[in-house]
Structure 1
Amino acid sequence: MTTPVTSFSVSAWETRSRSFRKIYFLGKVVGAFFLSKDWKKAWPLLLLCLGIQFGGVYLFAIETGINKALFDALQYKNIAVIPRYAIEFVAVGSLVYSLTYFGVYLENVLGMLWRNKISVLVTEAWLSNDRFYFIERAERVENADQRIAEDVRLVISGVFGIFMGSLRSLYSIAIFTALLVRRSAPVTFHLFGHEITTRYDIVLAAYVTSILATGIIFRIGRKLTRLNMRQQHYEGDLRFILVSVRKHAEQIAFMARSRIEHLRIVTALSAVMHNYFAQQRMSVVISFVMQIVSHFQRVLPLVLTIPRYMAGRMTYGDIMQTQSAFQTLSSSLTWLMQMYPMYSETNASFDRLFVLFDAIQMPEETGIALSHTASDDVSVSGLVLSLPGKSAPLLKIGHWEIAPGDKWVITGASGSGKSTLLRALAGLWQIGEGAITLPQDARITFLPQLPYLPHGTLLELMLQTQPPSKEARELCADLLCQFRLSWLVAQLDIGGDWNQRLSPGEQQRFALARAFVSPPDILILDEATSGLDQNTADALYANLLARPDLTLISVAHTPNIVRLHDRRLHIANGTATLSETAPTSPVSLLSSNRKL
């Protein structure tokens, strides 16, 4: 069972409400970086970014004052001071833009460090205790790779952008509200027979129009969040199909499935296209409303200041400063409206990433107890394997003892539970009841029917986490020769996609050779020679069975392979029967039949 990333137990996590879990996850996204050992990088960068943001707003307020003085000088034809104000305006403006671009650079650096931290943590949780396997097997989450590679980036950039933008807007609101109140001359108007004098009408107009516009945008734009999330889902499906075609190119070509795959791709593209058009239509509506509001807010301060100018209560410079301050205040007040597309995309990505995080925390159906003891034996007692949602058990095993050096073969019809039994031994199947004990200090290696060969050189694939050395290279070369892959010795340093270069039989032989780089005490094979011809399979098994200290558990069908083992566990009608096989000497078979 997985070790939770949260401070709750797995069962406690399941009982929490979804809203609580989402809030907690948001806290983890923030705290995992800013409250971790990386805080010495995170906080100075954050404070520097905030200082640049606030400094830029303050300098812009100064710039509006210089702009006012410049236009006042023009109005009163005070030619002597115009050059000074022009130079100050250019200098302060240049400093504002310089700070802005430097701030963007620092924000990108901080965002990448944050993204890297969260990506590492999510990946670690996803891979820990085989959670990725349980999630894929239960089909709880689709496109987990996209969520880690793409959604983490969008969430971090979105959360950081919204946070920084919010603080900048709040600071701008405070600065420019005070500036407008201070610069606005009192105005008197009559309402219902009452004479009212105020200097807050311009500020009030900015607040009212901005709040109304934001409400309208959020009202009509709620659908955009769903469309954004759906778009990411469709894009992920398209990428998955394309990768699948590339990965299985040979099988598709042999089966003449290119037309079928083309239809799948066209269908996926159609879903992407139709949702994209709906997404763009909604974006156009939102952008149109935002532009209307923006133009209205450009005209409104002129409407409110011209009467004051005509009455001699404001100068031309006051009008220009008021208009600039009004637009900045309105922009800050409508910041949520302007950021709605980004908010929508961030919210959709956050939901997708949360679904993955939530699936990692959710408990698996348990029942089978897997433990490690000081004993050298593998022991199975009272084991009942069940399938999800099925009342009848798949397989029952009363007692099964495997001593060191035993050679066991598991037989049975397809679908009888052989592979599920191996999954239970590996701790990958816990649905059922009973107990499995494994030797604590034994090296146990499982080889599935389809080996995993990631990109890399053959030497890297064989050594895996071991450091390369002359002795390690010689060992790898010897093992390749033992398992009839001598032609690969000259290619140990060649990299690439060996999963595509090697045939299924060659991949299985390579996996066997790789297993003995660090010789296992217990080797468990799930039809790991099914891609080999009978003579080669017999020879390789003879090699394995001739190792007296190796405990071997095999799933096999062919009589030749079955006869090579000492003992047999046969599955039929949901019950396992233990017996001994006909005596056959693997050493004699190895010497008389073929040479490896």
Structure 2
Amino acid sequence: MLRSVEAPGVADSLPSDRQVAWRFAGLTGGFWRGATSGKAWFWTLSLAASIIFSVFVNVTVNRWNGWFFDALEKKDTESALTAMAVFPVLAVIVAGIGVVILVTRETLQVHWRQWVTAKLADGWIGERRFFRLGLSNDEPANPEYRIADDVRWATEPLVDFAIGLLSAFITIVMFIEILWEIGGALTIPVGSRAITIPAYLVLAAILYAVLVSLLITVVGRRLPRLVAARNEGEAKLRFALMRIRDHGEPIALARAEAGERRAVARTYDSLAQRWLAMIRQRGRLTWITNGSGALVPVVPLLLAAPKYLSGEMSLGGVVQVAAAFVAVQNAFNWVLDNFMRIAEWLAAARRVNELADALDRVELSPPDDHLSVKQSPDAQLCLADVTLTDRDGRNLAADLSFSLPAGATLHLSGELGLGKSALIQALAGLWPWGRGEISLPEGARVTVVPHSLHLSEGSLRTILDTALTRPGDALADALRRYGLSPLAASLDEHRDWDKLLATGDRQRLALARAELEAPDVLLLDESTSALEIDTALELIAELRAARPGAIVLLMGQSPGFAEAASHHLVMKRAGGVTRMANPDGTSALRAGAVERGLT
């Protein structure tokens, strides 16, 4: 069993390779259970049957070699011609079984990867865990890279490993029988005595394989760690390049490309060092693999030569035992031949396990000091002495309290950086750190309209109606009401709308989408900042008319918002902590006091 130590920068408590393998098996073994079990077992058993049949075909080819070369040695023309006539049939069978193995193997790999990818992607995207994981200190590096690439590296080789192990086991059983049968015992004269070694070719094959495997294990024990470090470096380089693409506009406008280039260079320099360390380790392994590869075809010939020269073994027998010896070595040295792939698989499986474990931890019970989110008995939105903290326990905003009835509109103003984002995330159920109680109307749907809505690539229909339950006329009407009439004819066109639409149009589209979601609590976070104030107020009035009973929070500095709201609060910093106050400066710490002040 391979044994790796921790990669640079990773804690000493890394699970062992065996633990990684068992964890990965538990994570991905569900493919052979449940709804996909029929498909999984069909392709698995088909592949296993193909492998078993292929080994029997190889044994048949081996026996054909003995038949053919014995006929040549005896100058038996009839037998040689018969053997030559049979060989094309064997060739067709070998080619056919190879095609069957290829199709069944790759089909099983694709279906298994599809299942594992869907499980991890659903776990990462579902319940907004991608965001919640990012808020925590527990997010593994590059989760999207782990889902897209590490799943492939962890599933595809494992199918090949299973094929190799099954084939190796059957090959050892079948070809050792040939070595035993044809090789027999070897008698070595020692002075006046003779020493007889029974099944000497079998013993030689086993001894040779064990010796080479031990050398590979000792010399290559550091390779899994180096592979894991290299993969981590590759992920960091990709992230650095993606960061430049995602922030291309501010980098270009600020002429900050020189700094980004230096950062990419540092990342690649680190990656190059990891690659070089791995190359040096592989170089040491190559001494053994190449040396063994050169010796394996020669060793059986040297071992069989005494019996051939003494007439105890025919030429066909020599050819058979040589081929059988090589086949047994290949089977015994399966770990040797796949050492690099096993190391890469362990590194990929470890990264997949880390993501799955992190997603599991997100769903664990919240910390002792956490916000309490409950249902309001009177259909109001209430904050009762809420204090928001960061993950380290430092206060961001303290003693936030207010109570809003159905249909109310609260204008919440204040400078940036005063914990407003944390408040929005807390109301949306995403911010766990803090104290106090948040009460929402029973079964309330909370919708946040951010400053810049992310528009996934696809059609406007899927952007506006994520459940795809509304008729096209309803979606076109919503676009027209929010000033996007030209887009009504493009509902089903697949484009990168995030790049095609200007900021103002994206904000209009976000408001239309918010109306179609039919929210009970609506949080508008600078969601009309790119629009003129009169236009913004008209659109907010349109949204309010569509959802008259919804509770709306307007967050922003626009002066017109004050006239559009029925309630007003200001977030101000006092003593290093953000607190809420009425516009006149009076304290707003208790729900009752705030409600009286707001009215």
TM exceeds 0.5? Answer: yes
Question: Which one of the candidate residues 348, 359, 383 is aligned to 1:380?
Answer: 383
Shift of 1:213: 1.2
State the shift of 1:563 in Å: 4.7
Is 1:464 the counterpart of 2:449 in the alignment?
no
The answer to whether the 8 Å contact 1:444/1:521 transfers is yes
In structure 2, the gaps of 5 or more residues are 1-12, 586-599
Alignment of 1:94-493 (within 5 A): 94-138=92-136, 140-189=139-188, 195-362=194-361, 363=364, 365=367, 367-372=370-375, 375-390=378-393, 392-397=394-399, 399-467=401-469, 469-481=471-483, 485-493=484-492
Any idea what SS the aligned residue of 1:516 has?
helix
CA distance in 2, matches of 1:123, 1:86: 55
Compared CA separation, residues 60 and 296, structure 1 to 2 (3 A): same
What code does the residue aligned with 1:434 have? G
**1:365-393 CA distances to partner (integer Å, 9 max, x unpaired)?**
35222234564212222422211223x43
d(CA) in 2 for partners of 1:577 and 1:133?
27
Q: Deviations over 1:500-556 (max 9, x none)?
A: 223333322221122112332321122222333444444444545566433111222
Q: Which moved more, 1:346-355 or 1:360-369?
A: 360-369
Residues 1:264 and 1:541: Cα distance change in structure 2 (over 3 Å): same
2-structure distance, mates of 1:123, 1:153: 13
Alpha-carbon separation, structure 1, partners of 2:342 and 2:21: 16
Contact 2:570 2:580 in 1 (8 A): yes
State the shift of 1:359 in Å: 0.8
Contact 2:450 2:526 in 1 (8 A): yes
Q: Please report how far the alpha carbon of residue 194 of structure 1 lies from its aligned counterpart in structure 2 after TM superposition.
A: 6.4
For residues 548-587 of structure 1, the aligned pairs below 5 Å read 548-572=548-572, 573=574, 574=577, 576-577=579-580, 579=582
**Amino acid in structure 2 at the alignment position of 1:415:** G
Cα distance between partner residues in 2 of 1:151 and 1:193:
65
What's the counterpart of residue 497 of structure 2? Answer: 498
Shift of 1:298: 1.2
Change (3 A) 1:190 1:116: same
Measured after TM superposition, the shift of residue 331 of structure 1 is: 0.5
Q: Deviations over 1:370-428 (max 9, x none)?
A: 234564212222422211223x4322336432210111122333322121111111111
Look up the equivalent residue of 1:72 and give its one-letter code.
D
Which of 85, 88, 102 is residue 86 of structure 2 equivalent to? 88
Equivalent residue letter for 1:68: G
The residue type paired with residue 284 of structure 2 is V
Q: Distance in 2 between matches of 1:564 and 1:214?
A: 78
Retained in 1: the 8 A contact 2:300–2:325? yes
Residue 122 of structure 1 and its aligned partner are, at CA, apart by: 1.0
- The count of aligned residue pairs is 563
**Cα pair 2:526 2:555 within 8 Å, conserved:** yes
CA deviations over 1:461-513 (Å, ceiling 9, x no partner): 222322463422432332332xxx44444544443222222333332222112
Q: Is the 8 A contact 2:389 2:434 kept in 1?
A: yes
Q: CA deviation at 1:310?
A: 1.1
Change (3 A) 1:186 1:550: closer
Q: 1:207/1:192 Cα in 2 relative to 1: closer, same or farther (>3 Å)?
A: farther
Conserved? CA contact 2:511–2:543, under 8 Å: no
CA contact (8 A) 2:411 2:553 kept: yes
Q: Which residue of 2 aligns with 1:4?
A: none
CA deviations over 1:242-287 (Å, ceiling 9, x no partner): 3333333333332223333333344444444443344334334323
Deviations 1:269-312 (A, max 9, x none): 44444433443343343234212112112111111110011111
Alignment of 1:509-588 (within 5 A): 509-544=508-543, 548-572=548-572, 573=574, 574=577, 576-577=579-580, 579=582
Q: 1:86 to 1:581 in 2, by over 3 A?
A: farther
Q: Distance in 2 between matches of 1:557 and 1:445?
A: 20
SS of the residue 2:222 aligns to: helix
* Distance (Å, rounded) in 2 between the aligned partners of 1:46 and 1:470: 45
Counterpart Cα distance in 2 of 1:185 and 1:521: 86
User: Offset of 1:322 from its aligned partner?
Assistant: 0.3
Mapped to 1, the partners of 2:571 and 2:249 lie a distance apart of 35
Change (3 A) 1:94 1:272: farther
Please tell me the residue identity of whatever aligns with 1:400: F
SS at structure 2 position matched to 1:222: coil
Q: Within 2, Cα distance between the matches of 1:523 and 1:301?
A: 80
Deviation at 1:227, TM superposition (A): 2.8
Q: Secondary structure at the match of 2:391?
A: coil
Q: TM-score, normalised by structure 1?
A: 0.87
Contact 2:476 2:488 in 1 (8 A): no
Question: Which residue does the alignment assign to 1:28?
Answer: 26
- SS of equivalent residue, structure 2 residue 440: strand
**Residue identity matched to 2:561:** I
Q: CA deviation at 1:99?
A: 0.6
In the alignment, the residues of structure 2 paired with residue 118 and residue 378 of structure 1 have an alpha-carbon distance, to the nearest angstrom, of 40
CA contact (8 A) 2:69 2:315 kept: yes
The answer (yes or no) to whether the contact 1:408–1:568 under 8 Å persists in 2 is yes
Aligned match of 1:38: 36
Matching residue's letter, 1:455: E
CA contact (8 A) 2:382 2:440 kept: yes
Q: How far, CA to CA, are the matches of 2:166 and 2:375 in structure 1? A: 54
Against the structure 1 CA distance between its residues 127 and 346, is the aligned structure 2 distance closer, same or farther, given a 3 Å change threshold? Answer: same
> CA-to-partner distance for each residue in 1:142-174, whole Å, 9 max, x for gaps?
211111011111111122111221111111111
Q: Secondary structure at the match of 2:530?
A: coil
Aligned-partner Cα distance in 2 for 1:387–1:173? 61
**Cα contact 1:567–1:581 (8 A) shared by 2:** no
Gap regions ≥5 residues in structure 1: 1-15, 583-596
| Deviation, structure 1 residue 48 | 1.3
> What is the deviation of 1:356?
0.6
Distance 2:453 2:42 in 1: 47
How far apart, in 1, do the equivalents of 2:443 and 2:468 lie?
19
In the alignment, which residue of structure 1 is the partner of 2:590? none
Partner Cα separation in structure 1 for residue 160 and residue 475 of structure 2: 50
**Residues of 1 paired with 2:191 and 2:162: CA distance?**
44
Query: Deviations 1:53-87 (Å, cap 9, x if unpaired)?
Result: 11111121121111101111111111111111122
Measured after TM superposition, the shift of residue 21 of structure 1 is 6.8
Residue 580 of structure 1, CA deviation: 7.2
Structure-2 separation of matches of 1:162 and 1:434: 54
In the superposition, the TM-score normalised over structure 2's length comes to 0.87
Structure-2 change in CA distance of 1:263 and 1:534 (3 Å): farther
